[in-house]
C-alpha cells in the first residue's frame, strides 16, 4: 500500500516517516510540504540521511490520487479543511492529524479554534480515531480524524470510569503537562529554548481548543453532556505528555477495584498498559513508543480518584495513533509496524 | 547580628549563605555540617570561592550559644528535632526549615513522615512562618517553623478565598509541580539527571508529607477542617515550583472580582504579586527571588476557580522565607536583604 | 547618574536592567526598544512586575541627550553603527554591547559580519572594554566597545600566557561551548527548544564573527599576529559559556607554575578567580555573577596546556562587563553594583 | 541463537535488551544482575512492562553455558575481568562492553583505571570491536572487547586521515562532550540533575581512562606511537556524544578532498554517514540509532582540520556496536536488528 504525507516537514510528519519506514505493508510514496516543496527531506532533517532521501512536493490531489492509497495530513489547524475534501473525493483513505475534523458541531470549532470551520457537507463525517474506544467504527472507514494529544491521554485515562455511575460527571478536572514538541515546529517566542528551559508555564486557561473535543467524547462514552476543567502546562522537555485527572467517586471504590476495571476494559488494547497498585507512570517510560500507560490512586480521605496517564505526544498522541488507525481500517494487526520498545533513559 | 546555619552543605543551606551575605544586619558566623565538618565550604561549593571562605564545623549548641544570635536549621526531616531544643534552651532564635516542627499534632507527624515526632514538650510550640498570614505571630517570636515549599505556594494561592464562603471547602485539589532541588542534594536514583531529564513523574500520590501541613493551615485560616487532594510531580528543572489549585466557587464570582480580592488581601505583602486578568505566572519569572506570583481563572462553564501560584522553591520556599521571618521577628523591614530581581532568562 | 538602554527588550537589555537596579550610582531613566515602543517593559518581562515599571520608548538621540548621561546599546549587530554616533556627538558616554565597533579594520567587519561597517570616521575609535586587560584605556573613556561573550572567556583564559614565549602562538585552538541565550531572543529555528534540547551542535566552523576579535586582541597582548582555530558549540542550557583552549608550551612549565602566573596576572582583578591545581570550573559556578573562573592543566606527555574558562554569557559576557566598564570609566570601585553571588544550583 | 546479558539492570544493559528484542536471530534467555537478582526487570524498568518480563538472575557461568550461546558484559570497569574468563572457557562468545579488556598493555590498565588488570593469560586477547576498522578480525572471533564511547566517536572521526601523511600525528587534540548516561546509572553527586542541568563541566583533564585506548588504536591504524590531548566535558543531556577533533594538516588539502577520502573509506560501512560540505552533525541526529555521523572543516588560514563526529553513546557507543559485532562474528548482515531510524526531535 502506498502512502503520502502532507506536512512532512513538521515534527509529526517526520515521525510518520520514521514509523512508516518500519511498516511492512506501507511504501512511502509522496512527501508533501507546501513551504519546502523542491527541497530534499534529508536536507531539512539530516537524521534521515541515507534512510529516506526524497524531494518534498507541493500538494496536488490529482497526483496523490494517481500515486497513493492513503494520505496522512500532519498539518496545522486550518489546512486540511481545504485540502482533504479533494482527496476524499478521489477515493483516498484520509487520516487527518489536525483538529479540523474532530468536532461534530461547527460552532464549537469556530468558538474554540477561532477559525472558519470546514464545509458543512463534510464537517462531522470523520470517524474519531481513538482506537481503544472507537475500534469498530474505524474498521473499514475511509475518513479518520486522529485525536489530539491531550484528548488521547485524558480520554484513555477516563474511559473505564465513564459508565455505571462510577464518578460524578460534574467533578472532572484534567491537569495536563506537555513537552514542547506538542506545539509543533513553530518559530514563536513561546517555543524558544530560553523561554521554556528551567520553566513551567500554565497556558490557555479555560480556552484550550482540546476542551470541546474531550467533552464531546466524554458525552459519547458516558451518554452525559458535561463541562470539564482542563488546564495545560508547558514543561521543559521535548516529547511526552501527562494528564493528571481528578474526579469524585460516587461510591467507595478501592484503587485495587478500579485497577481491575481498567485491566478488563483494556484487555484487548495492546497499547494501553495499567500500572500496578502504588505505582504511576512517568512520561519517559513510553517515549518513542505507541503506549499509553495509566496509574490510579483513590484517596479514601476525600473519596476522590486521581488518574495519571502518559503518552509520547508525537507517537500515541499523533503519528503512532494514525498508523494504528490505518492498521485497523485495513484489518491488519493493530500493532503492525508499531512494535517500538520505549527508549530509556 | 550573628547567624549560624546548620546543614550549610545542602542546597537550602547554600542558598541561606547567598542570601545572608547580602543582608546588611547579619554576619555569617558559623557554618555547620555534620558530614563535612572540617572541610571548607568553598571546596564543596566552588561558586563561593573568594566570597565566603570558611571551614564547616560540627554541631555544638554551647559553641553556637557563644557565637551566634540566630540559628537556621536547613536539615533533612528528623534532624532538627534532636538539635534545636538545646539551642532554644540557650536562648537562641531558632528558624527550622525542615518539617520537624510544622505540625501541631504529633500523630500526624508520625503518620505522614513515618518518623518519631519531636519531644512533646516542644511539639507544636513553633510559630508557623508563613509571613503573609502569620505576620503578627512571628513578630518577636524566637522559634519559627518555616513552611514547606509546596505549602508556601499552595497556601498563598488559597489564602484570600478561604473565608466568607467563597469556595466549597471539600473541593480543593492542588496539583503541584516542582523542580528537583526540592528533594535536596541527595544521591538517590530519583534525583539522577538521566531519570529526571525529558520526564515528568507523579509521586507520593495520597501520601505526601506536606498534605497535613496544608490542611492544618487551611483549617487555621478558614476555621474549617477539610481534607484536600494533593498531587506532586517532578519536573525536569532545577529550581521552581508551581501549584495549580482547583476549587468550586459557591457563588458566581468573576475572575476580575477575585483578582481584586487578592490584590487587597496582599496589599501589604511585598513578596506576593498578582497577575492581571488573562495572564498566569511561569516559575522562571520568580527564580532567584523571594516572590510568590499568583494568577487566577474562573471558568464560568464549570463555576470552578483555578489558581496558579509559583515560587522559587529554594528562596520563597525555603531560605528566602526564613530570612523574611527573621526580618519580621526583629522588626526590620520585611524586604531587608531580599531585594533580588528574578533572573531571566 | 542617569542611564538609558537601547534594546531593553532583548535578553542583554533585560539583564542590564537587573544589574543597574542594583547599582547605587545609577538611575535607570530611559528604556528604548524600537519594535516595542509604547509597551510597558513589565508586560514583556513579567518578572519585572512591581520592580521596574516603565514604558519602552523609541530611539531619539536628542531626547537621550536631555535625560541621560550614559547609553548602553544592547542591540543586534548592525544597529548601533547607525544610532551610536549621534549619541557620542551629544557628549554621552556610549557603551556598545554589539559587535559593531569591536574591530579595528573595517574590512574584517565586512568579511566576518557580512555587513557594511560603520562610518570610517568612527570605526576603530572605541576602547575595547576588556577591563582586566585594558583597564587604563577604559578610565575616563567615553566610547566603549564591550567584548563579545566568547572573546571574553577566551581572552581572559589566554592573557597570562600571551607574553614571554610561554606558548607557541600558531598552536592556539579554542573550543567554545555556549548556552542558547548567547544567540539572543530571536525566533529562529535554531533557537527552538525542540532543536536544542538533548542536543549538542557545532556551528559556523571557521567563520564565527568572534574570530577576528579574538585574534586582534591576541595581537595587541602578544605583539604577534596569529591565526587561531575557533569552534563554537550550542549546548542545551540557557546561560553559561565555556572556552576550552589548547596551546603548545614552548618550555616545560608545570600546571603549578602556570597557576601562579595566573594568580599574579589577575591579582588586582576582582572578577577573575583561579581554580586550584586539579580542579576546573563549571559554568554553573558563575551563573548570575560577573565572575570569570579559570582552571589549567598541563599535560606533560604532550607538553600542551589546556585552559578552561567560564562565564555567565549575559553577565560577564555582556551586561555585567558593560557595568564594570562604566565603573572604571567613572573611577568608581570596579565591583560597584556587581556584588552578586553566583546562584547555585 | 540465545543470549545472556550480565549487568542487565544498567543503562547499557537495558539498551541491549531493547536492541536484542528487535533482532530476528536472537532470543533473550538470561538477564543477569548481581545486585538485583530475584527482581523482575520490568519492576526496575517499567518501560519494559508487557514487552519483556523476566526475573533477573545471579551470575553463574555453568548456567550460562547451558542456556546461552553469547554473553554480553554490560558491567562497570573491574567486573568482567573476574567473570568473563569462565564464560570463555565454556566456549561462549563473549562481548565485553566494559574497559577491562580493551588495552593490550596491563600496565596501561593499572595506570589509567587505577585497578588491577585482568589475568595476564587473557589480557590483550580480545579483538577490539571497532567494526569499521577491525571488521576482518571480528569475523569468527569469540572474544570481543567493545570500544568505549569516546574512542568510538574519536577513532571513526580520525581513521581516514591516520595514514599517508595527511596529518601531523603529534598535533591531535580531541575535545569530547558527552551526555550523562555515559557515566552509567550511578547514584553519585556528579550525576545528580541539579549538578548537571544548566551546566557544562570539564572533567578528568589529562587522565581520562579512554586516552590509552584511543592512542593504542591510533598506533594500530597509523603505525605511529603518539600522545594525544583528550579532554572530556559533561553536557546537560541524557544521550549523545560528540568529539570535536583537531589536527594540523601536512599538506594543503581542501575540505572537499578530505570529504571524498572519508566517503571512500566508509563506503562499505553502513553505520557511518558523512555530512556534505559546510554542514556538521548534531548529536540529536543519531539518537536511538547505531549511526556515527561525521562532518569536516579545513581552515585554510591555519591549515588545520576540524572533525566533528557524533554517536548515541548507548547505541553506537555501547549496546548497538556490541550487536553489530555479534552480527559480524556470525556472518549476518551487519545491520541485522539495527535498522533504527534516529528519533527526532
According to CATH, the topology of domain B150-313 is: Dihydrodipicolinate Reductase; domain 2 (3.30.360)
Judged against a pLDDT cut of 90, whether residue C159 lies above it is answered with yes
pLDDT band per the 50, 70, 90 thresholds, residue B298: very high
Q: Which residues of D touch B185 (CB under 8 A)?
A: 189, 192, 194
**CA D51 to chain centroid:** 26
Contact C193 A238 (CB under 8 A): yes
| HEC letters along B100-147 | CCCCCCHHHHHHHHCCCCCCCCCCCCCEECCHHHHHHHHCCCCEEECC
Q: First-to-last CA distance in chain A?
A: 35
| SS3 state of residue A306 | strand
Q: Which distant-in-sequence residues (6+ apart) come within 8 Å of A52 by Cβ?
A: A17, A21, A28, A41, A42
Count Cβ neighbours within 10 Å for each residue of B311-330 and write b for 16 or more, e otherwise.
bbbbbbbbbbbbbbbbbbbb
pLDDT band per the 50, 70, 90 thresholds, residue A165: very high
CA distance A27 to A57: 16
- Which residue numbers of D have CB closer than 8 Å to A's CBs? 11, 14, 17-18, 21-22, 45-51, 181, 197-198, 238-239, 270, 273, 275, 279, 281-282, 284-289, 293, 339, 341-345
Neighbours of chain B (3+ CB pairs under 8 A): A, C, D
Q: In a 10 Å sphere around its CB, with 0-12 CB exposed, 13-18 middle and 19+ buried, how is residue D223 labelled?
A: exposed
Predicted confidence (pLDDT) per residue in B78-105, tens digit: 999 999 999 999 999 999 999 999 999 9
Predicted confidence (pLDDT) per residue in B328-338, tens digit: 999 999 999 99
Pick from B191, B236, B237: CB nearest D192: B191
Q: Which residues of B touch C316 (CB under 8 A)?
A: none
Predicted confidence (pLDDT) per residue in D288-339, tens digit: 999 999 999 999 999 999 999 999 999 999 999 999 999 999 999 999 999 9
Pick from C47, C273, C279: CB nearest B50: C273
User: What integer is the mean pLDDT of A287-293?
Assistant: 98
Neighbours of chain C (3+ CB pairs under 8 A): A, B, D
Express as a percent the part of chain A with pLDDT over 90. Answer: 98
Contact A194 C188 (CB under 8 A): no
Look up residue C189 and give its DSSP letter.
G
Predicted confidence (pLDDT) per residue in C282-291, tens digit: 999 999 999 9
Q: Which residues of C touch A240 (CB under 8 A)?
A: none
C-alpha cell at C218: 591576541
Q: Which distant-in-sequence residues (6+ apart) come within 8 Å of A193 by Cβ?
A: C180, C191, C192, C193, C195, C196, C197, C236, C238
C-alpha cell at A92: 483516498
Express as a percent the part of chain D with pLDDT over 90. Answer: 98
pLDDT at A158: 98
Judged against a pLDDT cut of 90, whether residue A123 lies above it is answered with no
pLDDT band per the 50, 70, 90 thresholds, residue A120: confident
Contact A229 B306 (CB under 8 A): yes
Dump the DSSP string for A48-81.
GTTT---B-B---HHHHHHH-SEEEE---TTTHH
Contact B182, B317 (CB under 8 A): yes
The chain-wide mean pLDDT, for chain C, equals: 97
Helix (H) or strand (E) holding C174: strand C173-178
pLDDT at C121: 85
Tallying the residues shown for chain A, one arrives at: 345
Look up residue D55 and give its DSSP letter.
B
Distance from CA of B319 to the nearest CA of C (A): 13
CA nearest D163: which of D272, D258, D256, D304? D258
Torsions phi, psi for C339 (to 5 deg): -80, 45
pLDDT at B189: 97
Of C198, C232, C253, which to mutate for an interface test with D (greatest number of D Cβ within 10 Å)? C198
Contact D193 B193 (CB under 8 A): yes
| Chain A residue with Cα closest to C199 | A238
pLDDT band per the 50, 70, 90 thresholds, residue D32: very high
Cell numbers 542594583 label which residue? C22
Contact A199, B240 (CB under 8 A): yes
Angle at D276 between CA D270 and CA D279, to 5 degrees: 115
Judged against a pLDDT cut of 90, whether residue C144 lies above it is answered with yes
Q: What is the ipTM of this complex?
A: 0.98
Contact C304 D173 (CB under 8 A): yes
Q: Where in chain C is the domain with CATH 3.30.360.10?
A: 150-312
CATH of domain A150-312: 3.30.360.10
Pick from B194, B236, B237: CB nearest D181: B194
pLDDT at A124: 85
CA dihedral B275, B276, B279, B283 (to 10 degrees): -10
C-alpha cell at C98: 554589539
According to CATH, the topology of domain C2-125 is: Rossmann fold (3.40.50)
pLDDT at D123: 87
CA distance C70 to C26: 10
B292 is catalytic: no
Give the helix ranges, DSSP H, for B235-301: 255-265
| SS3 state of residue B40 | strand
Q: How many CB pairs under 8 A join A and B?
A: 144
Pick from D170, D239, D280: CB nearest C202: D280
Q: Which residues of C touch D201 (CB under 8 A)?
A: 280, 282-284
> CB neighbours (10 Å) of residue C91?
10
Q: Which distant-in-sequence residues (6+ apart) come within 8 Å of D174 by Cβ?
A: D150, D154, D214, D228, D229, D230, D231, D243, D244, D245, D246
Contact C47 B344 (CB under 8 A): yes
Look up residue D34 and give its DSSP letter.
G
Q: Which residues of D touch C301 (CB under 8 A)?
A: 206, 227
Predicted confidence (pLDDT) per residue in B33-68, tens digit: 999 999 999 999 999 999 998 999 999 999 999 999
E strands, chain A, are: 2-6, 27-32, 70-73, 93-96, 127-128, 143-145, 173-178, 201-203, 229-234, 241-248, 272-274, 292-299, 304-311
Judged against a pLDDT cut of 90, whether residue A121 lies above it is answered with no
Dump the DSSP string for B42-83.
HHH-GGGTTT---B-B---HHHHHHH-SEEEE---TTTHHHH
Q: Which residues of D touch B181 (CB under 8 A)?
A: 194
Distance from CA of D234 to the nearest CA of B (A): 11
User: What integer is the mean pLDDT of D198-206?
Assistant: 97
pLDDT band per the 50, 70, 90 thresholds, residue A306: very high
User: What integer is the mean pLDDT of C59-80?
Assistant: 98
Distance from CA of C344 to the nearest CA of A (A): 13
Q: In a 10 Å sphere around its CB, with 0-12 CB exposed, 13-18 middle and 19+ buried, how is residue D151 labelled?
A: buried
If you compute the radius of gyration of chain A from its CA atoms, what whole number of angstroms results?
20
Residue D295 CA neighbour count, 13 Å, CB half: 23
Express as a percent the part of chain B with pLDDT over 90. Answer: 98
Judged against a pLDDT cut of 90, whether residue C123 lies above it is answered with no
The edge-to-edge listing of strands for the beta sheet with C127-128 is: C27-32, C2-6, C70-73, C93-96, C143-145, C127-128
Q: Where in chain D is the domain with CATH 3.30.360.10?
A: 150-313
Distance from CA of C103 to the nearest CA of D (A): 18
CA distance D93 to D83: 13
Q: Is the dihedral of CA C239, B281, B270, C6 positive or negative?
A: positive
Which own/partner contact pairs does A151-154 have at CB distance under 8 Å and 24+ positions apart? A151/A102, A151/A210, A151/A213, A151/A214, A151/A217, A152/A292, A152/A311, A152/A316, A152/A317, A152/A321, A153/A241, A153/A242, A153/A243, A153/A292, A153/A309, A153/A310, A153/A311, A153/A316, A153/A317, A154/A214, A154/A230, A154/A243, A154/A245, A154/A309
| Chain B residue with Cα closest to A239 | B198
User: What integer is the mean pLDDT of B195-212?
Assistant: 97
Cα distances from B248 to residues B169, B263, B297, in angstroms, run: 8, 21, 12
Q: Is the dihedral of CA B329, B330, B335, B336 positive or negative?
A: negative
Contact B181 D188 (CB under 8 A): no
Angle at A324 between CA A318 and CA A325, to 5 degrees: 90
Q: Which residues of D touch A14 (CB under 8 A)?
A: 344
Contact B244 A231 (CB under 8 A): yes
Q: Which residues of D touch A285 (CB under 8 A)?
A: 46-47, 49
> CB neighbours (10 Å) of residue D238?
28
Helix (H) or strand (E) holding D220: helix D211-222
pLDDT band per the 50, 70, 90 thresholds, residue D141: very high
pLDDT band per the 50, 70, 90 thresholds, residue D207: very high
Pairing of strands D304-311, D292-299: antiparallel
Cell numbers 455505571 label which residue? A164
Torsions phi, psi for C304 (to 5 deg): -120, 140
Amino acid at each position: 500500500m502506498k502512502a503520502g504525507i502532507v506536512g512532512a516537514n513538521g515534527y509529526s510528519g517526520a515521525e510518520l516517516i520514521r514509523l512508516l519506514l518500519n511498516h511492512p505493508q506501507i511504501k512511502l510514496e509522496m512527501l508533501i510540504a507546501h513551504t519546502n516543496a523542491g527541497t530534499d527531506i534529508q536536507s531539512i532533517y539530516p537524521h534521515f540521511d541515507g534512510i529516506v532521501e526524497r524531494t518534498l512536493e507541493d500538494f496536488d490531489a490529482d497526483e496523490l490520487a494517481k500515486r497513493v492509497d492513503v494520505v496522512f495530513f500532519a498539518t496545522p489547524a486550518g489546512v486540511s479543511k481545504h485540502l482533504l475534501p479533494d482527496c476524499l473525493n478521489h477515493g483516498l483513505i484520509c487520516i487527518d492529524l489536525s483538529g479540523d475534523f474532530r468536532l461534530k458541531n461547527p460552532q464549537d470549532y469556530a468558538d474554540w479554534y477561532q477559525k472558519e470551520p470546514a464545509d458543512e457537507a463534510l464537517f462531522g463525517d470523520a470517524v474519531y480515531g481513538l482506537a481503544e474506544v472507537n475500534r469498530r467504527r474505524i474498521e473499514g472507514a475511509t475518513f479518520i480524524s486522529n485525536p489530539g494529544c491531550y484528548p488521547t491521554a485524558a480520554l484513555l485515562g477516563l474511559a473505564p470510569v465513564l459508565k455505571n455511575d462510577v464518578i460524578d460527571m460534574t467533578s472532572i478536572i484534567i491537569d495536563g503537562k506537555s513537552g514542547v514538541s506538542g506545539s509543533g515546529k513553530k518559530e514563536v517566542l513561546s517555543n524558544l529554548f530560553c523561554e521554556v528551559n528551567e520553566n513551567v508555564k500554565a497556558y490557555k486557561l479555560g480556552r484550550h481548543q482540546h476542551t470541546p473535543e474531550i467533552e464531546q467524547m466524554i458525552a459519547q462514552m458516558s451518554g452525559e453532556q458535561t463541562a470539564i476543567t482542563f488546564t495545560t502546562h508547558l514543561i521543559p522537555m521535548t516529547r511526552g505528555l501527562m494528564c493528571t485527572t481528578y474526579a469524585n467517586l460516587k461510591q467507595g471504590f478501592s484503587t485495587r477495584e478500579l485497577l481491575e476495571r481498567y485491566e478488563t476494559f483494556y484487555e484487548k488494547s495492546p497499547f494501553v498498559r495499567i500500572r500496578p497498585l502504588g505505582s504511576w507512570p512517568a512520561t519517559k517510560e513510553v517515549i518513542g513508543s505507541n503506549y499509553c500507560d495509566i496509574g490510579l490512586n483513590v484517596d479514601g480521605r476525600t473519596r476522590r480518584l486521581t488518574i495519571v496517564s502518559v503518552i509520547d505526544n508525537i507517537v500515541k498522541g499523533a503519528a503512532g495513533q494514525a498508523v494504528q488507525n490505518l492498521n485497523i481500517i485495513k484489518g491488519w494487526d493493530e500493532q503492525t509496524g508499531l512494535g517500538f520498545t520505549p527508549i530509556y533513559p
